[in-house]
Structure 1
Amino acid sequence: MIYKNKIRTVWMLGLVFLAISCDSYLDVNENPNNPEDAPISGLMINSTYESANNVYRVGDITSNYVQYLASPNPGSSSDTMEPVSNSNTWFNLYNVMTDLSVLIDKAEEEGAGHYQGAAQVLMALNLGTGVDIFGDIPFSESFNFETVTPKYDPDVELYGNVMTLLNEGIANLQGETTAELGDDDFIYGGDIDKWIAFANMLKARYMIHLKDVQGYSAAEVLTAVENGFQSNDNNAKVNFFEQSVNPWFNVARDNADLLLGGWISEQLIQALDGTSYDAVDPRLKLMVGTTDDGEFVGTENGAGRGNAPEQGARSTLIEDQYYTSQTAPILIATYSEQKFIEAEAAFAVDKARSYQAYLDGITAHMNMLEVPQDEIDAYLANPQVGMGEAAFTIDAIFKEKWIALFLHPEAWNDARRYDYQYKDMTLPANLNSGLNGEYIRRLPYPDSETSRNGQNVPSVTLLDRIFWDAE
């Protein structure tokens, strides 16, 4: 009860700072995030909470692209990979990065090294997220309130910024501080060791993206992994409570109230129900709901409900499962994801380590979902899953990581690096004709940018690749 009261207190304080939060780099005539008005504690509340929400916001866009979700309506733009203006997502990424910029500066001025370090880690997370979905974006001129038309920095250079922020963040978290993080940290509650592990896990995540880029080092990825998460207890997440519910819970609840959303792609169902693989995955029943007849039936991406128009004839997200309970966490980074990063990085240099990390990644995700041990053992014993080191392939890593990243935007980064080669994954029906029969590779720049900063917005198509997405 004491903990809940503390959470309520900091939540209400956070609402105050949400009200004064700077809109974005575009507001240059007046800076409502005046450092005199925004103490570092309030900025940390908002930044940890909104960083988690940004993971949801991007995951809500990309979950159709990787065929976790499918629209119940035929030809829906979310399914068919049409160009959609994601102005709100852009706004929210820049909103929290603006607050983080102020927090980094204020914490440095006050000698609050732990606040500064945590803010640098969160800045790296939000910046990396923006680059991974949009490519070139404004950064170097975005937070000084001197221009309404900031230049776009190259995506490859921005990845350098991401790594610098993470390294500097680790150094500050390991150093001295005049103020300690506490309940104003919605991710770790002030646990500095976990923040350092989180920063190293993110280093591994962003470095594995560069596997096909000159200068990639598997050894550096594995070093970051070794300094990263040690168990599910290290998972970076924000839990929800009475005043604010998990947004995926809202999707499930709205669907139950006939505001349709959260319908499950047949690709996901068939990957887990024994259709695409000779292994029935015990996680399926813990991740999505059944039809009214108690069966798992997915929706074809792009085709909609087809001959089953009634609600209840297709599987959807339902309330009160791990991802969709009212107080379920938004997962920012997990031990299971890190294990699959380790498996991929080690595959070419230490296959035995790679195979063990792959098995550990499956186990970690199943433990997180509270799969019974006998079901875990049976799944790992299936030769389609526990195939042994000699028969082990990179495809197995990507398949199991795709399952473990359910609803997370990192899955789209993997899908593009893997060229969408998941078994039985096919292009959606009614695909955007502008894609010429290919999968989407990036988001278009939002209308708000093309109207206000059009002279700097790069000219790109949905098929132009982010620098790490090698052909």
Structure 2
Amino acid sequence: MRISNNLKRLFGMGLVLILSACDSYLDVNENPNNPEDAPISGLMINGTYESAYNVYRIGDIAANYVQYLASPNQASASDTMEPISNNTAWFRLYNVMTDLVVLVEKAEEQGATHYQGAAQVLIALNLGMGVDIFGDMPFSESFNFETVTPAYDSDSSLYDIIMINLDQGIANLQTSTTASLGSDDFIYGGDVDKWLAFANFLKARFMIHLKDVDGYNASEILSSIDNAFTSNDDNAKVDFFEQSINPWSQVARNNANLVLGGWISEQFIEALDGTSYSTVDPRLPLMVGATDDGEYIGTVNGAGRGDAPEQGARSTLVEGQYYTSPGSPVLIGTFSEMKFIEAEAAFDVNKSRSYQAYLDGIVAHMEMLEVPQEEIDAYLASTEVSMGEGAFTIDDIFKEKWIALFLHPETWNDARRYDYQYKNMTLPANLNPNLNGEYIRRLPYPDSETSRNGNNVPSVTLLDRIFWDTE
């Protein structure tokens, strides 16, 4: 939805909540926001906005790992998979979940079941993003203001909590309510049917992660997809505006002002420019910027700018494109992603459905970027893309999903499940030697958490896997 002047005023309310939101176990003795007295509308503003921003925050962390972006600086920690303390991402996940837990409680007291259901969906989203990058996390003891050293719940048990929240959220969204969502909902503007589709989409997303775990059920995923998105119109997203520009637009703007960031990985460029695959992808010029010479040249992860130190000699994110305009949306979940989930889930049980979903996912992403129809047709005419059901493989799904989820954190989940087997993807130069020549599998716990709750923080390495990331 496009944010109106009315919503800009509401956004100001949300900023107050963002800046003063309760820290839960981060500060048990003081509750500066006193969220028990916060209106559910203000909590909804904050919950929808911050949830979208968390997608950006985690996408920004993962973008180098999956070789969307590369640092212009040689041996940069983000490229070489060194341990980095992601204090901000951890804090923001818990900050918004704290407000969402309060929103669930207040909405239940008021009979505002649609607010309650939407909040439960957003809890599942944020908790899931946290578990997928950190593994075990505090949850069951984190929101009662009784301890600053909560115990950690296992990553697998937290997935049960994610699914419970989604199922309860769906039930509440289908129940009569005393208060309706409206302009305080920055994702769907109060459209409950779209919230129901989004909840079912998230069920499918989290269940596909469990593909190699006991109890996986492809039919359940396909059933959720049948009740999820039907077109790009259902995409879960938050649009930005002049007072609060899209964060990827800010990265592009910063780079133009020589605060370097948003340089494009050579791997991503070569996957679309006809190098790794013979078919040139028409999406490339709509997603990243050309060099000053009008070429598309990436940066090798870990190697830096090398022999091209001048600004404009390498492709970067540039302002004004779909992902990087000031008013561009941050995409939380898309119809295109859902189609690729469907393709993977159906691959072993209904190859025909899988292949059609794969093609539909490509088209949905191209239409979202407004690729001209003749260019869509030409891309699909390639036998490298439309290879036919018999020659169609799981590799084709992961390749096209990797392109369609540009800058989205979900791709790092895919990369680990896929063992980083994207065509021509190689380990970065100057790789962290502690990885023993392997790809990173998780984030370390942030310094803020180890200093505050060190006795409970699990001892992990960057090679230890999240429970669904089986060997």
Match of 2:416 in 1: 416
Deviations 1:367-390 (A, max 9, x none): 000000000000011011000001
Larger mean Cα displacement after TM superposition, 14-23 or 278-287: 14-23
Q: What one-letter code is carried by the residue in structure 1 that aligns with 2:140?
A: S
What amino acid sits opposite 2:8 in the alignment?
R
- Counterpart position of 1:436: 436
Count of aligned pairs? 470
Report SS of the residue matched to 1:65.
Answer: coil
The residue number in structure 2 matching 1:405 is: 405
Cα separation, 2, equivalents of 1:34 and 1:223: 41
Specify the alignment match of 1:120 in structure 2.
120
Q: Distance in 2 between matches of 1:36 and 1:463?
A: 41
Q: Determine helix, strand or coil for the equivalent of 1:465.
A: coil
What TM-score, normalized to structure 2? 0.99
Q: CA deviation at 1:18?
A: 2.2
Partner of 2:85: 85
The one-letter code sitting in structure 1 at the alignment partner of 2:181 is L
Q: How far has the Cα of 1:35 moved from its partner?
A: 4.1
1:152-163 paired onto structure 2 within 5 Å: 152-163=152-163
1:220 equivalent to 2:185? Answer no
Aligned position for 2:332: 332
Trace 1:30-429 onto structure 2 (pairs within 5 A): 30-429=30-429
Amino acid at match of 1:113: T
In the aligned structure 2, how far is the partner of 1:360 from the partner of 1:274?
A: 22
Structure 1 distance, partners of 2:3, 2:60, is 30
| TM-score, length basis structure 1 | 0.99
Structure 1 segments of 4+ aligned residues over 6 angstroms from their partners: none
Distance 1:468 1:3, change over 3 A: closer
Evaluate the alpha carbon distance shift between residue 286 and residue 452 of structure 1 in structure 2; reply closer, same or farther with a 3 A threshold.
same
8 Å Cα contact 1:33-1:99 kept in structure 2: no
Post-superposition shift, 1:16? 2.3
* 1:21 matches 2:21: yes
Task: Note if contact 2:23-2:31 (Cα within 8 Å) is conserved in structure 1.
Answer: no
- CA distance in structure 1 between the aligned counterparts of 2:382 and 2:178, rounded to whole angstroms: 54
Asked if the contact 2:35/2:99 (under 8 Å) is kept, the reply is no
1:24/1:91 contact within 8 Å kept: no
**Quick one: distance in 1 between partners of 2:245 and 2:434?**
38
Shift of 1:180: 0.4
Alignment CA distance shift 1:10-1:377 (3 Å): same
The Cα of 1:20 is off from its aligned counterpart by 3.0
The percent identity for this pair of structures is 76
**Cα drift, residue 13 of structure 1:** 1.6
Aligned partner letter, 1:31: N
Aligned-residue CA RMSD in angstroms?
0.9
Alpha-carbon contact 1:25-1:98 (below 8 Å) kept: no
Structure 1: gaps of 5 or more residues: none
The answer for unaligned runs of 5 or more in structure 2 is none
Equivalent residue runs for 1:448-467 within 5 Å? 448-467=448-467
Confirm or deny that 1:470 pairs with 2:467.
Answer: no
Q: Deviation per CA, 1:48-80, whole angstroms, max 9, x where unpaired?
A: 000000000000000000000000000000000
Opposite residue 170 of structure 2, the aligned amino acid is I
**In the TM superposition, what is the alpha-carbon distance from 1:24 to its structure 2 partner?**
3.8
Is contact 1:336–1:362 with CA below 8 Å preserved after alignment?
yes
The aligned amino acid for 2:275 is T
Aligned-partner Cα distance in 2 for 1:196–1:4: 24
Letter in 1 for 2:17: F
CA offsets 1:193-222 (integer angstroms, 9 cap, x no match): 000000000000000000000000000000
Report SS of the residue matched to 1:291: coil
Letter of the aligned partner of 1:152 in structure 2? Y
Alignment CA distance shift 1:3-1:282 (3 Å): closer
Q: Does the aligned pair in 2 maintain the 1:286–1:321 contact within 8 Å?
A: yes
